[in-house]
Structure 1
């Protein structure tokens, strides 16, 4: 899932789940919305990305390239080293600013109470 929010200067994109070939149908619409907002700074929150392939990287690269052409910048926040590696392999890591200080909030698992599997008689 991809959520978009905007302030007067920044567009924030929060990605949850996979950013890959299976999700590519939504990329053009999201890119058009982000570009249409015309904010100088695009922040991509990747704290909840489970997996990203080269298709997901190409989507992020297209956002960064569009922003750079308008004189803006794209920041990756909470990106896992494996995701940065995918972008680096694509030769586009220099299109992004990396937020090294951001710490993702831990995802808490629901409280699970263990029960006795033995039926009572």
Structure 2
């Protein structure tokens, strides 16, 4: 699942689940929407990404490249080492700013509500 949020200067993509070949059908529409918004900063929140393959990396690279051509920047936040490695192997890590200060919120809190 990919959600798009905007502010006057920023577009934020929040990605949850797998970012891979199985999800590729939605990539062109999302890319067109992001490019059409013409914001200078694209923030890609990957806190809830469970897996990314080279198809997902190519999608992120195309978004970053489109932004760079317009003079913008793309920030990855919540990206784990495995995902950064995929982008590095693709030779594209330099297209991104990596937000190493961001801390992802816990995905769920478990409580035990049973009474003994």
Distance 2:5 2:93 in 1: 24
TM-score, with length taken from structure 1: 0.91
Cα-to-partner distance string for 1:69-118 (whole Å, 9 max, x where unaligned): 0000000000010000000000000000000100000122443568xxxx
Q: In the alignment, which residue of structure 2 is the partner of 1:28? A: 28
- 2:86 aligned partner: 86
Structure 2 alignment gaps of length 5 or more: none
2:20 maps to 1:12: no
Any gaps of 5 or more consecutive residues in structure 1? 115-121
SS in 1 for 2:8: coil
Q: Rg larger in 1 or in 2? A: 1
Tell me which stretches of 4 or more aligned residues in structure 1 moved more than 4 Å. Answer: none
Q: Distance in 2 between matches of 1:92 and 1:11?
A: 20
Q: Over residues 3-35 of structure 1, what are the superposed CA-to-partner deviations in whole Å (9 max), with x where a residue is unaligned?
A: 001100000000000000000000000000000
Per the normalisation by structure 2, the TM-score is 0.95
Aligned residues: 116
Residues 1-121 of structure 1: pairs in structure 2 closer than 5 A: 1-111=1-111
